Amino acid sequence: MRRITTALAGLVCAAAAWTAPAAAYEIDPITREPIVAYYGSSYGYRPQAASSFRQVVSFNGYGAGTIVISTAQRRLYYVLGNGQAISYGIGVGRPGFTWSGTKTITAKREWPDWTPPAQMLKRRPDLPRHMRGGINNPLGARAMYLGGSLFRIHGSNEPETIGYAVSSGCIRMTNADVVDLYSRVRVGTRVVVR
C-alpha cells in the first residue's frame, strides 16, 4: 500500500509540474480563423501562409500611431512608439498597380459592402456591380479607406494571397490581422506607403 501511495504522489507531483504549451489556440468568432496567443514580446495569428504572421518588431523613424507600408517587403507596420511596431503580412498591388505616397484614413467599416470602381469593371466585366458585406466579400471583415484615392486597407476572402502582389492597388490582410489593426487605428491615422 505504501508503494502505491508513493507512486500516486509521484504522479500528482509530475502532473503539477507540467506546464501548458507556449501557445493557446482558439477560433476567432468574427473571422472564423484560428488565433494563437504567444507569450512574451510577440504574438500573432496562425495563418495558412507564413507571411501573415504578426509580431512586435524593432522600428524607428515614425511617430506612434502611424501606419507604414513597405510594398517591397509586403509588410505593414503599425508604429507603437519606443522603437517598436507591430508587423503584419500583406498583399499588395500587382505590377502596374503599385503606388506610394502619404494618405490618411478617412473612414472605417466593419464587414463593408463592395462596389467595384468603374476602372475595375472595365478590366473585369464579369465582376458583380455590388456585393453585400460578409465572409465571401473580397473586402473581408474590415476596411479602412484611404482619402483621396480608391484604395483601402482591407481584409480578404482569399488569405492565401497574402504575401503576394495580386491586388489592384489595395492593401490586403488576413481577416484576423485586419480586425486587430482596425481596433488600433482611428479616422485621421497617417498612412505612409513606400
Active site members: 154, 170
Angle value at C-alpha 39, between 37 and 44, nearest 5 degrees: 35
Rounded CA-CA distance 88/42 in Å is 12
How many whole angstroms separate alpha carbon 100 and alpha carbon 98? 7
Handedness of CA 129, 120, 68, 161 (dihedral sign): positive
- Please give the C-alpha separations between residue 33 and each of 9, 41, 70, 104, in angstroms, as whole numbers: 41, 22, 25, 29
Contact by Cβ (8 Å): 34, 23 = no
